[in-house]
Amino acid sequence: MSWSSAERAVLTRAVGEAPSVHNLVPWTAEIRAAGADLYDHAGARRRRHDPAGRDRVISGGAALTNLELALRALGWAPETVLLPDAGRLDLLARVTSPHRHEATPEEVRHYSAIYRRHSYRSPFAVRAIDEQERRRLAAVSDGAMGRILDPAAESAPLAEFLSHAGQAPRDDVAYRRELRAWSSPFGEPHGNSALPWAHLPDTATLAKRLAAEALVLVLTPDDTRRDHLLAGHVMEQIWLAAVARGLAGSVLTRPLRLHQVRAGLAAELGLAGFPQLILRFGYPVTGPRS
Ligand SMILES: Cc1cc2nc3c(=O)[nH]c(=O)nc-3n(C[C@H](O)[C@H](O)[C@H](O)COP(=O)(O)O)c2cc1C
């Protein structure tokens, strides 16, 4: 089987739309006869900021979700092997598509959400996420390593940890310099933060604002490269499902790079796994970008 140039363009474009840490696009997709190989782009290494390459591999996982959805949109059933070659750790995944499969309406909706998803960096609409929407998100997240936070009980501890994380980089000149070097191309209004506030408000106000959002923590059983890949894969699935339902969202990993925050959050919320990232969802003020 060989791809037409239009099909190749569908696959390449979908992969290129995935979110990535600092917009580094740290992967390469090599389109093959019956699928594609996805490589980690080690040249995008950020030694200080992401020494273990966790965010890079999470980003690769998001690209993998888009690749699979694009194959589905083209009428194939993708089969994926993660880290298929122990001798080539940069080969994140091999995706083949041995069987035809007509995409379900939901798969088509999620595929088209790839082009409407972006990191939403403005304040969400005043209307709080309602319980029904929260339950729908929980249904997508549960069993897929996502854990939706209880707004009443868990917004306050999260606000405490985010406030702590918001302070930490101020003392860390090298970390700040690295972030500054990457911040200008992103067009982010308030520095490099998915949180829309130029300065974090006091903890009580932050907790109140967080309680109006839907927050999903993506957890993995272990903290290996494979776990990071799976976390990114699941992150993008949840994000696209939310966008398909008209929500807007953003992702935070920066606070979790601080050991005290990551370990503290796991202990405080009784998390059954390693927290890899936090997704925030709300209603967009102006509607998603198309
Ligand atoms: C693994 C990963 C970690 C990220 N961490 C953060 C973060 O901590 N703070 C933030 O503001 N954005 C974060 N982002 C969002 C990226 O900056 C964003 O995806 C990128 O700039 C591309 O923009 P887009 O999502 O609008 O396509 C992260 C994205 C990924 C994939």
Q: Which CATH number fits the domain that encloses residue 102?
A: 3.40.109.10
Domain count, the chain: 2
Ligand 1 binding pocket includes 254 (Cβ within 6 Å): yes
With vertex at residue 28, the alpha carbon angle to CA 26 and CA 30, rounded to the nearest 5 degrees, is 170
Ligand 1 binding pocket includes 141 (Cβ within 6 Å): no
Asked whether residue 121 is domain-assigned, the answer is no
Ligand 1 binding pocket includes 192 (Cβ within 6 Å): yes
Q: What are phi and psi of 130, to 5 degrees?
A: -85, 170
Based on the domain organization, do 74 and 146 belong to the same domain? no
Asked whether residue 123 is domain-assigned, the answer is no
Q: Which two tokens stand for residue 37?
A: 């190989």
Asked whether residue 122 is domain-assigned, the answer is no
Cα–Cα distance between 287 and 179 in angstroms, integer? 29
Domain boundary among 64, 89, 115: 115
CA of 236 to the centre of ligand 1 (A): 12
Atom of ligand 1 nearest to the CA of 186: 21
Ligand 1 binding pocket includes 162 (Cβ within 6 Å): no
Ligand 1 binding pocket includes 186 (Cβ within 6 Å): yes
Based on the domain organization, do 89 and 191 belong to the same domain? no
| Sheet strand arrangement including 27-32 | 27-32, 35-40, 91-100, 76-82
Based on the domain organization, do 90 and 61 belong to the same domain? yes
Based on the domain organization, do 9 and 108 belong to the same domain? yes
Ligand 1 binding pocket includes 66 (Cβ within 6 Å): no
Each residue's pLDDT tens digit, 74-122: 999 999 999 999 999 999 999 999 999 999 999 999 999 999 999 998 8
Based on the domain organization, do 172 and 270 belong to the same domain? yes
Cα–Cα distance between 21 and 46 in angstroms, integer? 10
| Sheet strand arrangement including 248-252 | 146-148, 214-220, 274-282, 248-252
Domain boundary among 115, 141, 173: 115
Based on the domain organization, do 98 and 150 belong to the same domain? no
Name the residue at shortest CA distance from atom 14 of ligand 1. Answer: 21
Cα–Cα distance between 232 and 276 in angstroms, integer? 9
Atom of ligand 1 nearest to the CA of 55: 1
Based on the domain organization, do 92 and 135 belong to the same domain? no
Of 21, 193, 218, 237, which is best to mutate to test ligand 1, by the most ligand atoms within 8 angstroms of its C-beta? Answer: 21
Based on the domain organization, do 18 and 160 belong to the same domain? no
Asked whether residue 39 is domain-assigned, the answer is yes
Q: How far is CA 109 from CA 69, 117, 139, 190, 245, in A?
A: 10, 12, 17, 31, 9
| pLDDT band at residue 167 using 50, 70 and 90 as cut-offs | confident
Q: What is the pTM of this model?
A: 0.90
With vertex at residue 40, the alpha carbon angle to CA 236 and CA 235, rounded to the nearest 5 degrees, is 15
Where does residue 113 rank: exposed (0-12), middle (13-18), buried (19+ CB within 10 A)? Answer: buried
Based on the domain organization, do 36 and 101 belong to the same domain? yes
In the chain, how long is the greatest CA-to-CA distance? 58
Name the residue at shortest CA distance from atom 12 of ligand 1. Answer: 194
Based on the domain organization, do 94 and 178 belong to the same domain? no
Each residue's pLDDT tens digit, 175-231: 555 444 333 333 344 444 566 665 678 899 999 999 999 999 999 999 999 999 999
User: Contact at 8 Å (CB) between 146 and 231?
Assistant: no
Asked whether residue 290 is domain-assigned, the answer is no
Cα–Cα distance between 45 and 66 in angstroms, integer? 22
Lowest-confidence region among 39-48, 87-96, 228-237, 262-271 = 39-48
Ligand 1 binding pocket includes 236 (Cβ within 6 Å): no
CA of 180 to the centre of ligand 1 (A): 15
Provide the domain limits for residue 101: 5-115
What residue type is assigned to position 171 of the chain? D
Atom of ligand 1 nearest to the CA of 22: 17
- SS3 for 82? strand
Name the residue at shortest CA distance from atom 29 of ligand 1. Answer: 21
